[in-house]
Structure 1
Amino acid sequence: MRKFMLSAIIVTASLFGLSVQAAEFQAGKEYVELKAPVPVADPSKIEVVELFWYGCPHCYQFEPIINPWVEQLPDDVDFKRIPAMFGGAWNLHGQLFLTLESMNVEQSVHDAVFNAYHNQGNKLETPEKMADLVASNGVDREAFLKAFNSFGVKSRAEQAKKLGMAYQITGVPVMVVNGKYRFDIGSAGGPQRALEVADFLIEKERAAR
């Protein structure tokens, strides 16, 4: 009887813990539920998007926190980075990111871009400066410039602009889960908590399937 009561207490405590966890994050507080969900690229997976800008110090500081998390995501989660396109340098750097992504470069090249901007005073104002930087990190300079000015990359840049508008973002870094839920580091309560919110919403979407 004592063992039964102990088991019941453990189960009750576990259920209580789950309910507390489930209530930990709420729409309108830590995250916003979009009124018009944005279609995802692959409906068979749970999509997680991070919108960022190379020139954003918070995005730069978020990198060493989010990257290990991304590497451990399960197979049913599709993670994407999308550059925020607010005009000027934002658009130029967004095109830089999309060019490098189209060339399938290593993460180390993206790290080099962040480092150049935030630690070396290189604001990457022109495609030529970008080409010089990525060339010093193993990327073919002429191939980069050709891709940067390609129709494919420019089309993806236009798509990124439209997605940013659809997500109704006003700053970065911002995360969006499955085209339905948007949150940022501030609303989540810090960088690590932002990933906890992401995990919570991923599980919410998984449970709804």
Structure 2
Amino acid sequence: MLTRSFPRLATLRYPLVLAVALMATACGKGTESTAPAASTPAASTAATPTDTAATPAAATAPAQTRQPGPIVPPQGPAPVLGTDYEEIPGGQPWQPEPGKVEVVEVFGYICPACAAFAPTVEPWHMKLPADVNFHYVAAPFGPEWIPYAKAYYASEQLGLVDKTHMALIDAIHVKKTLPGEGDPVNEQKIADFYGQYGANPKQFLDMMQSFAVSTKINQGRQFMQKSGVTGTPTIIIDGKYRITGGKSYQDVLRIADHLIAMERAAMAGTPAAAPAAAPAAPATGTGG
């Protein structure tokens, strides 16, 4: 089972009714993991974010096209190191590109919190400035997660992510036409789903079992371990910062905007505002 490292959400163990999980927009942690090299983290006790309207129902929206927006100053207070985000010792970007700031969302298709976050993060990343690259990394936390992680990387190779990402979330969490948490794994059903978007189901299923996809699964697992990811969804900025705070999904993206701006300034060699530090604990000594 996974914990959160994102907006400090309560962990759900999935015997809970999914409808309740979605109404609460609580984080969907991984199942009891049987994947190689994946540990079983402890449960999170953090609070649930306040985005009560951000449910997967919005996943029915049509596919969007990336339209980079202008660079604008981040809004709201600067994030606090140790409260809103953590530095990743020795962290590395997922797919570095010179002159680009990288944003990664580690997610799982069967994770209810990822489904609730999707309608907020999807339009946000479609409008990120041209000097920012956004990537998904699919978490292979357990036997019910791995087929969807394989499907994500296969769809990425075929250029189908923009067409299918939100639709797949909708099929799992709203229409319930694809297996979700606690359901038997059915890779043929997943391949048939992608067949609706131009893939050949048999070839897609073969691609899911391919060496290339297996390699991406292992690379994703290694990236997550090096980045300290123990739950989904988790946002990583340039391989350096893992967002751990935020009172809502929008607030998580406020933190991301600030960290992107901080990285942009560092790349340009221009002074940037120093990140805020958590307030020191008050002294308890009486003095003499």
Please give the range of the TM-score, normalised by the shorter of the 2 chains. 0.7 to 0.9
1:106 Cα offset (Å) = 4.7
1:114 Cα offset (Å) = 0.8
- Normalised by the size of structure 2, how large is the TM-score? 0.61
State which of 124, 128, 153 in structure 2 corresponds to 1:73: 128
Number of corresponding residues: 188
1:132 Cα offset (Å) = 1.6
Q: In the alignment, is residue 202 of structure 1 matched against residue 256 of structure 2?
A: no
Q: In the alignment, is residue 30 of structure 1 matched against residue 84 of structure 2?
A: yes
Residue 42 (structure 1) aligns with: 97
Q: Give the secondary structure class of the aligned counterpart of 2:106.
A: strand
Q: In the alignment, is residue 172 of structure 1 matched against residue 228 of structure 2?
A: no
Identical counterparts, % of pairs: 32
- Matches for 1:20-169 after TM superposition, within 5 Å: 21=76, 24-40=78-94, 41-121=96-176, 122-123=178-179, 125-169=185-229
Task: Name whichever of 81-90 and 174-183 sits farther off.
Answer: 81-90
- Normalised by the size of structure 1, how large is the TM-score? 0.83
Whether the 8 Å CA contact 1:85–1:164 is kept in 2: the answer is: no
Unaligned runs of 5+ in 2: 1-72, 268-288
Structure that is richer in helix per residue: 1
Distance 2:205 2:128 in 1: 33
Gap change, CA 1:106 and 1:168, over 3 Å in 2? closer
Whether the 8 Å CA contact 2:151–2:190 is kept in 1: the answer is: yes
Whether the 8 Å CA contact 1:49–1:79 is kept in 2: the answer is: yes
Distance 1:43 1:118 in 2: 37
Distance 1:106 1:157 in 2: 16
Distance 2:121 2:109 in 1: 15
Whether the 8 Å CA contact 2:106–2:137 is kept in 1: the answer is: yes
Unaligned runs of 5+ in 1: 1-17
Q: In the alignment, is residue 189 of structure 1 matched against residue 247 of structure 2?
A: yes
Q: Give the secondary structure class of the aligned counterpart of 1:188.
A: coil
Q: Which has the larger radius of gyration?
A: 1
**Which deviations, in whole Å up to 9, do the C-alpha atoms of 1:96-145 show, x marking residues without a partner?**
11111111115231222111111233216122111122213332212211
